[in-house]
Structure 1
Amino acid sequence: MPQTIRALGKKPARHDPQTYRLGAALRAHLITPPPSADWAPGVTWPVWCNDTIGCCTQVSVASAIRTWTGVAQAPVLLSDAQVIANYSAESGYVPGQAATDQGGVEIDVLNRWVKDGYARPGQPGRDYLTAYGTVDPHDRSGIMRAIASLGGVYIGVQIPNYIMQSGGDWVINESGDQTIAGGHALWLHGYDADWLHFNTWGERRRMSWDWFEVFCDEAYGLVSRQNWLGTTGFSPDHEDCDALIAEMRAA
């Protein structure tokens, strides 16, 4: 697949030491992860303009909302215009002015989601993230637990050129071009023993666990009371997340 129909857009990771670390809290408050989970089986994913614009940090926001609401409510699908409006609000992108298409920093995207929210369809027309915290990409059980309990994981990866130049599963390819093309934001919505499941550039994809551990440079577990938790604070699998939220907010 030609590189010209794939855009990236994740700026270098900025690791804030004050960001809540989810690993221990996930083990304390949430389930032992099952062998596999997939919260978006069979979903058809839009490109959301990430073929030409570096809006992947907002495509991942839209993917999270679609995943959560598809399980816990009725599916909410952001339009291209809403994804671009959210990208513009966070990054300063001005449609039609290519020089302003600079991508986004994931932690800034998440902070704005918590504080100011992002546009979404329907009422109330604004989507707010409740809380988020980091998950160590090398903590496989932590990544599995976050996906299984929180409905997914928001990650950033560094993309080698061989991924830009090919289709199919994302696996270690020692003979491919290892030059890093840039950073990319993704929403992981599932896993099994061999693969992590995600969408990008309008397609369903899988990445191997070893590829993930080599190329992922940031990962966040997100808590959405608006989209994922019921009014009593329970997830679709009836986990009580209120204690987790209280701990995250008190940190």
Structure 2
Amino acid sequence: MGRVAGKFGKLGPRFPVALKDFTAYAEAPLPAPPAAVDWATGVTAWPMDGNDQYGDCTMAAAAHMIQSWNAQTAEQDTVPTQQQVVAEYFQLSGGQDTGLVEADVLKTWQSGGLWGNTVVAYAPVNVHSLTVLQQAIALFGAVYAGIQVPANAQQQFQAGEPWTLDPGWQRQKIEGGHAIPLLGYDAEWIYAITWGGVQRIAWDWWSTYADEAWAVLAQEYAQAGTVNGIDMAALTADLKQV
């Protein structure tokens, strides 16, 4: 039986003026990314987290990142239940199934926390700078991303196929915005989590349909001063203006 695609709920991207691109906070040129990264290993199941009923993909993506960070670091931060993911979604959306802006979710996650988990910092990544995208995934264990989903992507997902630019892709209707965590890549694919499983994404598909990406420093990764070559003092100062 094929997989079942869920709902959409990522609203249009918004980038705070005070927040510079991720690379601006690098104190020196970032190291070349590895040829392949896999941060999904170690997680045995990816819950739907209500995204089959509600447009809470922005919150489900955050919950999945916590799952992966725990596996990477051997920490045991609380992973929210489906009920908690849905409840937090409606708390932030004002009680309506309207979807959310990723930047708003990140601001809440960094300033007040989600489910007892507080990220240290975040910054936007240029979706078309594929090397920087790889660096962010490799350095921080995940990228919080946003895409516009064409109709045939739902069909590909349900058939267990990767997201690729099939013939006639230009005529595909966009069904909605969707939030996904990127947890790995290799020469052929980006590996994302969505609708209860790992989804392969072709690089040219990503370049066509991605509209936002964010490097996120997890509390599990937190250290004083410079973290993985990122000037935390400068980034933290800019986040205070958001």
TM-score, length of structure 2 as denominator length: 0.87
Give the distance between the partners of 2:202 and 2:29, measured in 1 at CA. 27
Matched, 1:82 2:87: no
Q: Is the 8 A contact 2:58 2:178 kept in 1?
A: yes
Name the CA shift for 1:153/1:27 in 2 (closer, same or farther; >3 Å).
farther
Q: CA separation in 2, counterparts of 1:41 and 1:140?
A: 22
Flag the 1:29–1:244 CA change in 2: closer, same or farther, 3 A.
farther
The TM-score, its normalising length taken from structure 1, stands at 0.85
Matched residues in 1 for 2:48 and 2:211: separation?
A: 23
Instruction: Give the structure 1 partner of residue 73 of structure 2.
Output: 72
Conserved in 1, the CA contact under 8 Å of 2:4 and 2:195?
Answer: no
Kept in 1, the 8 Å contact 2:59–2:89? The answer is: yes
Rounded to whole Å, the distance in 2 between the matches of 1:47 and 1:185 is 13
| Cα distance change on mapping 1:89 and 1:30 into 2, 3 Å | farther
User: 137, 153, 177: which is aligned to 1:147?
Assistant: 137
Report the CA distance between 1:213 and its aligned residue. 0.7
* Cα drift, residue 30 of structure 1: 4.1
Shift, 1:156, TM fit: 0.6
Q: Which ranges of 4 or more aligned residues in structure 1 deviate by more than 6 Å?
A: 1-4
Deviates more, 1:32-41 or 1:154-163: 32-41
Unmatched runs of 5 consecutive residues or more in structure 2:
none
- Aligned letter for 1:58? M
Give the 3 Å change call, closer, same or farther, for CA 189–233 of structure 1 in structure 2.
Answer: farther
Residue-pair matches, total? 232
1:66-114, CA deviations, whole angstroms, 9 ceiling, x for partnerless residues? 1111111245532101111221221123xxxxxx101100101101111
Kept in 2, the 8 Å contact 1:64–1:187? The answer is yes
Sort the Cα spacing of 1:3 and 1:53 in 2 relative to 1 into closer, same or farther, 3 A.
Answer: farther
What is the CA–CA distance in structure 1 between the aligned matches of 2:20 and 2:234, rounded to whole Å? 9
Asked whether the equivalents of residues 23 and 136 of structure 1 are also in contact (C-alpha less than 8 Å), the reply is no
1: distance between equivalents of 2:25 and 2:49?
Answer: 34
1:19-34 → structure 2 map (5 Å cutoff): 19-26=19-26, 28=28, 30-34=30-34
Q: Secondary structure at the match of 1:18?
A: coil
Paired position in structure 1 for 2:234: 247
In structure 2, give the amino acid aligned to 1:19.
Answer: L
Identity %: 34
2:9 corresponds in structure 1 to 9
What secondary structure is seen at the aligned counterpart in 2 of 1:165?
helix
Determine whether 1:48 maps to 2:49: yes
Give 1:243 shift: 4.8
| Shift of residue 28, structure 1, vs aligned partner | 2.3
1:227, distance to aligned residue in structure 2 (A) = 2.1
**Equivalent position amino acid for 1:132 in 2:** Y
Structure 1 stretches lacking a partner, 5+ long: 94-99, 120-125
